Amino acid sequence: MNDARPRHRVLVVDDSPVARRLLVHILGSDPGLEVIAEAENGDEAVRLATRERPDVIVMDIVMPSMDGLEATRRIMQERPTPIVLVSAMYGPGYLSQSFEALHAGALTLVAKPSGPEATGFADEAADLTTTVRLCADIKLVTRRASNRSHPHPAANRARPPAGARRRPVEIIAIAASTGGPAALATILNALPMSTPVPIVVVQHMTEGFVEGLVDWLDASSRMAVRVARDGEPLRAGEVLVAPSGVHLGVGGGGRVELSHEPPTGGQRPSATHLFRSVASVYGAAGVGAILTGMGEDGVAGLSALKEAGGLVLAQDEETSVVYGMPMKAALLGIVDQILPVDRIAAALIAAWNGATR
Residue 256: which H helix or E strand, with range? strand 255-259
Please list the residues that pair with 290 across neighbouring strands.
175, 314
Answer yes or no: is pLDDT of 161 > 80.
Answer: no
First to last CA, the chain: 57
pLDDT digits (tens, 9 = 90+) for 114-133: 888 888 889 889 999 999 99
* pLDDT at site 207: 83
From CA 120, how far away is CA 206, in angstroms rounded?
14
From CA 171, how far away is CA 199, in angstroms rounded?
6
Lowest mean pLDDT among 156-165, 226-235, 338-347: 156-165
Band (pLDDT 50/70/90 cuts) for residue 284 is very high
* pLDDT at site 119: 82
Query: According to CATH, what is the number of the domain 171-352?
Result: 3.40.50.180
Full DSSP string of 82-121: -EEEEE---SHHHHHHHHHHHHHT--EEEEPP--TTSTTH
Residue 180: which H helix or E strand, with range? helix 180-189
- CATH 3.40.50.180-classified regions of the chain: 171-352
As a whole number, mean pLDDT of residues 103-114 equals: 90
Residue 341: which H helix or E strand, with range? helix 341-352
Enumerate the active-site residues. Answer: 177, 204, 297
From CA 234, how far away is CA 151, in angstroms rounded?
34
CB 9 within 8 A of CB 34: yes
As a whole number, mean pLDDT of residues 235-260 equals: 96
- CATH 3.40.50.2300-classified regions of the chain: 8-136
* Half-sphere CA count of 316, side-chain side, radius 13 A: 23
* Half-sphere CA count of 266, side-chain side, radius 13 A: 4
From CA 306, how far away is CA 300, in angstroms rounded?
10
pLDDT digits (tens, 9 = 90+) for 195-225: 999 999 999 998 889 999 999 999 999 999 9
* pLDDT at site 4: 59
DSSP secondary structure letter of residue 283: G
pLDDT digits (tens, 9 = 90+) for 288-311: 999 999 899 999 999 999 999 999
Which carries the bigger pLDDT value, residue 17 or residue 147? Answer: 17
Band (pLDDT 50/70/90 cuts) for residue 153 is very low
* pLDDT at site 111: 87
DSSP secondary structure letter of residue 181: H
Please list the residues that pair with 87 across neighbouring strands.
111
**Which listed CATH number (3.40.50.360, 2.60.40.420, 1.25.40.850, 3.40.50.2300) goes with 8-136?**
3.40.50.2300
From CA 118, how far away is CA 130, in angstroms rounded?
19
pTM: 0.88
Answer yes or no: is pLDDT of 156 > 70.
Answer: no
Give the dihedral sign, CA 318/321/326/328.
positive
From the DSSP assignment, how many helices (H) and strands (E) are in the chain?
11, 14
From CA 121, how far away is CA 137, in angstroms rounded?
25
* pLDDT at site 341: 97
